[in-house]
Structure formats: structure tokens, C-alpha cells
Structure 1
Amino acid sequence: MLDVMMWADIRCPWCWIGLRRLQVAAKEIPGGLRVRHRSFLLEPAGPASPGRLVADIAVSEWGMTAEQWRAKSAAIRAQGRQEGLDIRIDTTAVVDSRPAHRLLHAAADNGVDPTTAWEAAFDAHLRRNVDLADPAALLDLADQIGLPRPAVRSLLAGEDYADAVVADHQAAVSRGIHGVPTIVAGDHTLTGSRSVAELGDFLMTAGSGQ
């Protein structure tokens, strides 16, 4: 079985698309694939404009024109549909993803399948447009993936797993990773939106030890 690490942020639509494509590519890998999900923070200190829609921030803070954003949004939605995903990026709000990442770490430590948990978080944020910085929304997500509410309330009341999230992010930066999705297998690194074929070639090369 081939072990890989995947850095992602639940705010990133390309990360959800990349995870789906990685799962398809993995079917061609002899022995299968074991994915270690690692947290990456697009805004490590939290968003500058929490709660505002991505579509609004794109044209007011990211320097994009309305036409440029429409094209980018259309590409994201089209690529998502190819993988069976309904990504509603125009109505997605920018949120602080650190609490959600802490919950994902807790889920992994409590026996929840990590890919299942990440899929649920992506779906909540990017399809249902849930505010995953809201403790009530995180409790609902915990119910969905099978984490007991008392444990999650305790988690959200403190700082459990905050260091783990930061450590994941810093590990990425120390490897020269500054964008996601990024997949690492041994000495091989692949960053950005990639096709299933590109991911398959990457995994086969990494698995062959070349």
C-alpha cells in the first residue's frame, strides 16, 4: 500500500475536487492508497474579512474584475460537476477554518475515517455553505460523522488540537508548500489542480521508487 500525505484547507474547492480525483486515481494503484490528511491554512491568522462571500472578496480584495471572477467561478463549478460535486462557490462565505481543522484532527483520533470526515466538512462548507466557524455548525458536523457532542463541546471550549493544526501547516511551509491541494509521496510532491491521469502518473512514479 502506498502512503501519501495530502495538505488541504476545507475552504479550498480545488482541494475537494483533488480529493475526489485522488480517490479515482488510487483505484489503479496495486495494493491501494493510504492517505494521511494534513491541515493547511489559507489564512493562518484567520480571514481578514470573515463572513463575507468569496464572490465579493474576489473583486474587492483579491484584485479580480467581475468578469474574471465569473470565469473562475464557472471553472470551479464545472470541474466540480465532473467529479459529482455541487460546489456553490458564489454563495460560500470566507470563514476561519481552524476550528474545523481541530475537529478533523479529533475525528481521526477517535476512529472516524479521515476521508469521510473531510468529505463531510467540504460538503458542509462548499455545497451547503455552512459557517464552520460556528460552534453549532461544528456540533452538527460532529453528529454527521459520529463524534459525540460532549467531547466536541469540550474541544470547542478549549484549544485541543490547535497545536496539531499549526504543526501541520508549518510542516507544509517547511517543505516549501505554499498552496493546496498538495500531495506528497516519499520524495515526490505534486501541487495544484491536477487531472486523474496526472495524479495516477504521480502515484505510479512514487510507488515505483523512482
Structure 2
Amino acid sequence: MKELAVIDVDVWADVRCPWCWIGLRRLPRTTTELGEPVRLRRRSFLLEPRGPVSPGQPTAAVATSEWGMTIAQWESKSQRIRAEGRGEGLDINVDGALMFDSSPLHRLLKLVAAAKPSRAGAAWDAAFVAHFGRTENLGDWDVLRSMAAVWGLDPAGVERALVGESFAEDVARDLADAQRLQVNSVPTIVARDGSQISGTASAGELVRFLTGAGSIR
């Protein structure tokens, strides 16, 4: 039997980023157009490494106060995000999504990838749903504990991840690699040869990129 080639790519993303949810939904759909399987590794990126100035506040309020955007500018941006999301079957409440420090969540997602690798993608998607769908406060560790229980994670392991006793180095390594590769915005897809493309590129652009990225055996 002929061995299938595999295209390896890394995707840097942050759960706080609506474009990352869009990109991580679009990419798997796009890969069905290829004749080769794609192995996707999700890498952590922190939009605000030190955490937000106003945790727990709705994004729309922060955008028009701290980010210096006018109401009209934010509404235009919000409408574009929601429209792109609908194109991928997503209902993104970017206005009501609450600001939070995503570091503990990224450590939990690393735990999922280590303990239950087949569920890693579903865990990322569930986190996006909680943040942009239900606008839950993912800065609340009790909320994170509830999510982790649904994912079937060991409670003791969850606590170690939350306080940073485990997987902090893994997240830090992702951030260092992003800096080394000059990944400055997310979602960004990086192939094994170092070539990059925005995760929000069109389906056709993604297919061409993946085809040119080459494969390994």
C-alpha cells in the first residue's frame, strides 16, 4: 500500500482573536480539497502577554475607550468579523466577548494536547464557542475548571496547569518561536520550510500555499 504523504503546518492563534476562530474553521475545510493529509499543530500566541488592562470588560467598550477607535470604526470592524464568521458557519459575538488573560487557558489547551491529543482541536473550538458564542468569562478559573471537566481532564493536572506549574514552558516556547519567525499577528500558518500565510486567507490561497509547502513521509 502506498504511504500517504503528510503536510505539516503550525498555526499560531489566541482564543481571544475572532479571526483565529475563523481561520481554524476554514483551514480544515480547505484541506479536504487536497490529495494529501494535513497535520496541524496549534501553537499559542498571546495578544496581550501581560494580560488586558480591563479584564472582564466587553470588547466593544474597550475598543472605543482604550484602543482609540471611534464607535463607527469599531462597528465597521465588528460587522466585518461577524460577516466573515457567518461564512464559516460561526456566530461571533465579538462586541460582547469579555477581555481576559488567556495564559491559563493556553496552558489547559497544552494539557489537552498532551493528555488527549485527539481532542485538541475540539477543545480549541469549545474555548472559542465559550468566548465568542456564550461570552463567558474565561478569566474565571471556575469557568476553566468546568470546561476542563467536560474535556475529561484530571483535576489535579488542571490545577497544575492553571497555576503555571505545568505547560508554562510550552507556551513560552511557542511565544519565543513566534518571535523568532516574526509571527506578529494571528492566525498565522507556518510550513516546515518557514513560509507563512495568514490563516484568514481565502480557501484558494490556502490550497495553493499548502500544495507548495511540500510534504514529509
TM-score of the superposed pair, with normalisation by structure 1: 0.94
Aligned-partner residue type, residue 89 of structure 1: V
What is the aligned residue count?
209
Aligned to 1:193: 200
1:112-145 CA-partner distances (Å, limit 9, x unpaired): 4221111111111111111112111111111222
Q: Which of 140, 147, 155 pairs up with 1:149?
A: 155
Q: Which of 173, 178, 186 pairs up with 2:179?
A: 173
Note if contact 1:172-1:178 (Cα within 8 Å) is conserved in structure 2.
Answer: yes
CA distance in 1, matches of 2:141, 2:215: 44
Aligned-partner residue type, residue 157 of structure 2: A
CA distance in 2, matches of 1:54, 1:20: 22
Identity rate, percent: 48
Q: Give the gaps of 5 or more residues in structure 1.
A: none
Aligned to 1:204: 211
Aligned-partner residue type, residue 150 of structure 2: Q
Note if contact 1:179-1:192 (Cα within 8 Å) is conserved in structure 2.
Answer: no
**Bigger mean CA offset, 113-122 vs 100-109:** 113-122
Aligned to 2:33: 28
Partner-residue secondary structure (3-state), 1:84: coil
Question: 1:148, CA displacement in angstroms?
Answer: 2.7
Q: What are the residue-to-residue correspondences of 1:92-103 with 2, within 5 Å? A: 92-103=97-108
Aligned to 2:145: 139
**Runs ≥4 residues deviating over 3 A:** none
CA distance in 2, matches of 1:32, 1:132: 33
CA distance in 1, matches of 2:183, 2:161: 28
Root mean square deviation, CA, Å: 1.5
Aligned to 1:51: 56
Note if contact 1:8-1:39 (Cα within 8 Å) is conserved in structure 2.
Answer: yes
1:143-196 CA-partner distances (Å, limit 9, x unpaired): 222213333134324531112111101110111111100001122111252111
CA distance in 1, matches of 2:176, 2:163: 24
CA distance in 2, matches of 1:54, 1:36: 28
1:110 paired to 2:115: yes
Question: 1:61, CA displacement in angstroms?
Answer: 1.5
Question: 1:31, CA displacement in angstroms?
Answer: 2.3
Note if contact 1:120-1:145 (Cα within 8 Å) is conserved in structure 2.
Answer: no
